[in-house]
Amino acid sequence: MDVQEMLGLWWTVPAGAALVGYVCSLAGLTRPQRAVWVTARVVEVHRPGHGDSKRPGIPVTVAFHDPSTGREFRMRHAGSNGHVVAAAWVGQEFPVRYPRRRPERFHLMLDAKGEERGLGGPNCMLLLLLVGLVVHAFVVWGRPHGLMCLGGLLLVVGALSRDRQHARARAALLDGSVAVPGHVVAVTKDVHTDGEGGEIVNHAPVVAFTTREGIHVTALCREGIARPGLSLGRDLTIHYAPADPAVLTPDLDHDRRERAAAVRFIVYLLLAGIASVTLGVALLHDLLPIT
């Protein structure tokens, strides 16, 4: 198989998968669209064990009713069925979806926006298709067209990114944050292997605090705590948003820097896209014959 055939296969497979996915979404046939969607309530919060992995998040037991039978189900969620819960308290509500008549196969969704139509897979295939366009442009059409297509892809990714909106929303919530005492009740531990066989140890403290409204919150703090591996039992101050206690930080300055870094990355992405398109146009202009 030569390069042209490989590029043709790259165009065909993602394009076909994306097309099938979008057609199924329009017809209401995707898995999320055929599933049952209900609201689940946290009835029990389980504290992660000291030294456990952070990947399951904060384990919780949720309760929800099957609308077809009216029966209540209580299920434990620990990161395997859907998204990871980073902060939890009794009474917290989450959207849950599951196949009809199969509530035991529930998926807890932190954000139902964009999930209900089942567009995640088709959108990923569309992104692969755009990447294929960039590769095709470099290999077949030459460097100027490749740079213009690469710049266009960077501009699209930067324009569609929700990082800026998330940063602004988080900043707005934390602008009116409330400070309360907290306590590190456990420290999770994950060990990764680098390319040279060495071990990289990552620690994430688990903190517990009580809001001014009397809500007992257990949260996983991946950032903002100095020397996290030695933080077990440490007392600290937690800043949380009264409108949503899941929006919290032990260090407001660190949180501001992280938000600013996320916004800067998107700005750099857009600038790189503009520069790539400009360079491609300039190279293409130099290659055009002068009449």
> What digits encode the pLDDT tens for the residues 101-115?
889 889 888 776 657
Handedness of CA 258, 163, 180, 238 (dihedral sign): negative
pLDDT number for residue 245: 96
In this structure, the number of other CB atoms found within 10 A of the CB of residue 169 comes to 14
Alpha carbons 226 and 249: distance in angstroms, whole number: 13
Whether the Cβ atoms of residue 253 and residue 280 lie closer than 8 Å to each other: no
pLDDT number for residue 61: 95
Least confident of 131-140, 159-168, 182-191, 253-262: 131-140
pLDDT number for residue 1: 55
pLDDT number for residue 122: 86
Alpha carbons 42 and 94: distance in angstroms, whole number: 8
Q: Give the pLDDT mean for 161-187.
A: 94
Rounded to 5 degrees, φ, ψ at 70 are 75, 0
- Residue 291: pLDDT band (50, 70, 90) is very low
Residue type, 147: L
Alpha carbons 47 and 88: distance in angstroms, whole number: 10
Residue 23 C-alpha from the chain's centroid:
25
Least confident of 92-96, 119-123, 177-181, 186-190: 119-123
Assess whether pLDDT exceeds 70 at residue 288. Answer: no
- Residue 235: pLDDT band (50, 70, 90) is very high
Residue pointed to by tokens 């969607």 = 37
pLDDT number for residue 6: 66
Please report how many Cα atoms fall inside a 13 Å half-sphere around the Cα of residue 206, on the Cβ side.
26
Q: Which of 256, 274, 203, 200 is nearest to 232 (CA)?
A: 203
Predicted TM-score (pTM) of the model is 0.85
Least confident of 18-32, 146-160, 203-217, 272-286: 18-32
pLDDT number for residue 206: 97
| pLDDT averaged over every residue in the chain | 88
pLDDT number for residue 3: 60
Q: Which of 224, 230, 233 is nearest to 184 (CA)?
A: 233
Assess whether pLDDT exceeds 80 at residue 227. Answer: yes
Q: Please provide the distance, in angstroms rounded to a whole number, between the alpha carbons at the two ends of the chain.
A: 40
DSSP 8-state code for residue 72: E
Q: Locate the DSSP E strands across the chain.
A: 36-45, 60-65, 72-77, 87-88, 93-98, 107-108, 178-193, 199-210, 216-220, 235-241, 244-249
pLDDT digits (tens, 9 = 90+) for 238-274: 999 999 999 999 999 999 999 999 999 999 999 999 9
Largest CA distance in the chain: 79
